[in-house]
Structure 1
């Protein structure tokens, strides 16, 4: 019975530590907004994030797509947003690429850039081409391979949810194990 209590206590401690870690993980990674999110080789891309904080600065990394390994992120017109730009190389292959940013405050942000193939349509009317450039186009072929961010493999969307789900499973197992052992131990009494 003592072993069961020790194991239950250990499981609860692990679950509590997992839940305590969730806010720290969410605070260290932010979202990097990329505009336009779908481009062709040779296009200019603008990135921005709030991860660097008010008046913050940082460095972007577009080396996954063959772009610069370091470009500046500086405060934009909104004091809580930093902005940077880079050019997608003419040699970029179609696919989805992870673009990263590291802020001077230690926080990081990531986002996805989709590179499509093909040239802009030559026969489109002037008004149609103006509206087409404002809206991202669909990639010519589906992305292939893994994401290459250059700044790590953790993303805000999947990491937090997986940790919360794991902590919930551990807590459920601990409660069920305790209930089972108490119920089982109750039959031996006179």
Structure 2
């Protein structure tokens, strides 16, 4: 019977150090805030706050001349034990600081965000003609007509694969053949 050593001796101490670090990774990433913008909407997400007296906490959007949490546009956090969020709509373009304060008085963090002007899409005219060949299949429903050269090369590759496979299976040694 053969025995195979799974880990070399030098890898055991490395594994003993790496395992606690790997398990502690998500807990370290949970603190802080994440701010995103979409047009004139600003959203902040955190997982650092806990429910205290029926409230998760408050987020504040501070403009250029505002220096304290109370001066900004404040929104109550909503969410669950794993994720809390707040959002502001119709924010004018400019640079802002988003600050989150949990209901127990601890700051979850702050981040600077740049809001750019919202772009309005130009209206396009959509023709609603019936499809001539039924439902389009394939990747993502995209259709593309290939030329005869592309189809010929593809058929040649498939044909050569079939011939090579038959040749390989034919050359396999059978029970009646000797080496």
Which interval holds the TM-score relative to the shorter structure?
0.3 to 0.5
Greater helix fraction, Structure 1 or Structure 2? 1
Q: TM-score, normalised by structure 1?
A: 0.37
Q: Which has the larger radius of gyration?
A: 2
